[in-house]
Chain A
Amino acid sequence: MAAESPISDRKVVVHLRATGDAPILKQTKFKIAGNDNFCKVIEFLRRQLRRDTLFVYVNSAFSPNPDELVIDLYNNFGFDGKLVVNYASSMAWG
């Protein structure tokens, strides 16, 4: 978790992890602007995996609203310096 108070212009490291039979990406760690919305991550995954139906979660726990800022998600749910995002082709944690 970030030690200082969040500044919107920071980059956040996102670790993308496949769940179930979802395809595994060659590169799984990316940086994204803290000020971007979570929907950027969702769209990125959709483009990379060429799939429209994707279920995207944080820490294998819940699906954040696409409007959430990545920096907020990182500050609230990140650990070990990154935000873990899981993706699946079907509902994994309903």
Chain B
Amino acid sequence: MELCSKEAVKYVWEGAIPLQIHLHESEVTTLPPPPPILVLGSRIGYLPLLVPLIKPHFSSTLPPGTDTVWFDYKGLPLKWYIPTGVLFDLLCAEPERPWNLTVHFRGHPGDVLTPCEGEDSVKWSYINSLKEAAYIINGNCKNVMNMSQADQLELWQSLVKGNMDGYLRISSRLKLGPLGEDCIVRSASSSAQPRQAIGEPDFTGSGRPCRIPVRLYVRNISEDLDDLEDAVPIDNWDRISYINRPVEIHKEEGHLSFKCAMKTLLPKIFFEEPLVDDHEFLREGETVGADSSYGDSETIGGSWNAQAEEIPFAGQPQVQLLKKSKIKMIRIQGIELDMDIPFFWVVNNLKNPEYFLHICVFIGTSTDQSTFR
């Protein structure tokens, strides 16, 4: 099967969420209040990048002062560094069209959300995610660090403008993909030959597994839910489990299905064993790493002491899955995936431009309160 589909990548790049953006009522100073603005938010883009379109529409009604723009959906402040499409797939169990969001220019909730200071903040976040992905794939991010300033800027501008061809032209020099069935990164023109690359993949021809960057978002919904429209909306980011864990694939496993890859990420869910042993979560806190010389080292986070070590994680609700959890749905780029699709097809075609595959998993549980890691 052809593992790379330019057509699929094009669909992803052209994907957009129809947004209806309302100004928060506390910031409306004119009568009648301004109507909401309708904007298309690119799936692979970020909400703050839409501000130049949104702000002029509302600027005449804003109270005087300086702006720090932020968005919320049903009261949940939106994390601006998560791509728009991922936010939509995750927070709208039943897709809402248009997606109604509220924009704020003041009153930024600094305690729950890091502020976005315009396009530069988003660019910084994007470049760092790209470096992180490169590091996961290659063991270093020299290829990104060695990019010229001009190339970095052009890469970013291509993303902002949705210019897929421009983006692919520059990003192909990073040699981060696409993946072939033997886990080797391929370029369009050559097969497994040594290449003059800016940063060469370490795993070519060696036994080292290849690692694929993944950002996994797990949301619990009621198991008995018939209609996704009735899913309880997320009111707090603590209700979503975010896991940053690469999929590791050994050369022999090149024909991995999407289901098998998901099993490595969420083994407890996929092996469908009921978690009857509550003590699994109540094990005494251990320190990772073999070095015992840190016996007296200070702990960041204040309240830790020898007794607290028995409390799994201070401040977090101690909740377990009370009975078997089932995957209700898995969404990537708005698509509910067939579990038998070759995983490499998914990675090559559905990943985001920063080389991360964002996966939204909806798990049906008997209690809405449970969180899972």
Contacts and interface: CB of A to CB of B under 8 A. Distances in A.
B298 A31 contact: yes
Given A31-B287, A81-B288, A9 B313 contact: yes
B243 interface: yes
Contacts of B88: none
Contacts, number: 121
Given A44-B300, A62-B135, A33 B287 contact: no
Interface string A22-51: 000001011111111001110010000000
Query: Mostly helix, strand, loop or mixed at chain B's interface?
Result: loop
B290 A62 contact: no
A56 to B, nearest CB: 11
A38 B286 CA distance: 19
Interface in B259-314: 267, 281, 283, 285-291, 294, 297-301, 304, 312-314
Contacts of B79: 67
A16 to B, nearest CB: 9
Contact of B244 (A31, A33, A69): A69
B289 A82 contact: yes
Nearest to B145: A93
Contacts of B298: 27, 30-31
A31 B313 contact: no
Contact of A29 (B288, B294, B301, B373): B294
B300 A74 contact: no
Given A31-B294, A33-B313, A72-B243, A62 B128 contact: yes
A72 B290 CA distance: 18
A64 interface: yes
A62 B139 CA distance: 12
Interface residues of A, number: 46
Interface string A1-34: 0100111111111100000000000010111111
Contacts of A59: 135
Give the interface size class of chain B: 35 or more
Interface string B118-147: 000000110011011001100011000100
A76 B300 contact: no
Contacts of A68: 244
Nearest to A63: B128
B114 interface: yes
B81 interface: yes
Interface string B129-172: 10110011000110001000000000000000000000000000
A61 B141 contact: yes
Contacts of B145: 61, 93
A50 to B, nearest CB: 16
Contact of B297 (A30, A33, A61, A75): A30
18 contacts: A5-B267, A7-B283, A7-B286, A8-B312, A13-B287, A13-B294, A14-B300, A31-B294, A31-B299, A33-B313, A35-B316, A44-B301, A62-B128, A65-B128, A65-B129, A66-B114, A71-B288, A72-B245
Closest 5 CB pairs of A and B: A81-B289, A62-B131, A9-B312, A35-B313, A32-B300
